[in-house]
Structure 1
Amino acid sequence: MNSGDHGIGPERIEPPGYGKPGMSEEVAKADLCMASDDSAYMVGENLILCGGMASI
């Protein structure tokens, strides 16, 4: 390791997201979950379906 190398660089960091556009089936699964009893305890939440791209 060089004195200026701290182990941080583009080759060591994975970009966020899945690298592909979302499919309608993936969005539909989230919609079905929100419409089911599985989400009964959720109140007033925003569900962001972005494949991780919002973390950029």
Structure 2
Amino acid sequence: MTKKTDARTTVALRSTAGTGFTYMTTKNRRNTPDRLVMRKFDPLLRAVVEFREDR
């Protein structure tokens, strides 16, 4: 259970390849105020591509 004052929030990471595949993850907004960018596996392309935080 999370507190209301918790700095961690749930964000969606959307594939930049245009497939529409999404990963859900959490991040600490105090430590990383910028948009999150990760290289992860896209199962629709069957390749590793860049995923960016979706707002």
Shared fold, TM over 0.5: no
TM-score by length of 1: 0.22
Greater RCO structure (CA 8 Å; 6+ sep): 1
More helix by percentage = 1
TM-score by length of 2: 0.22
Structure with greater Cα Rg: 1
More strand by percentage = 2
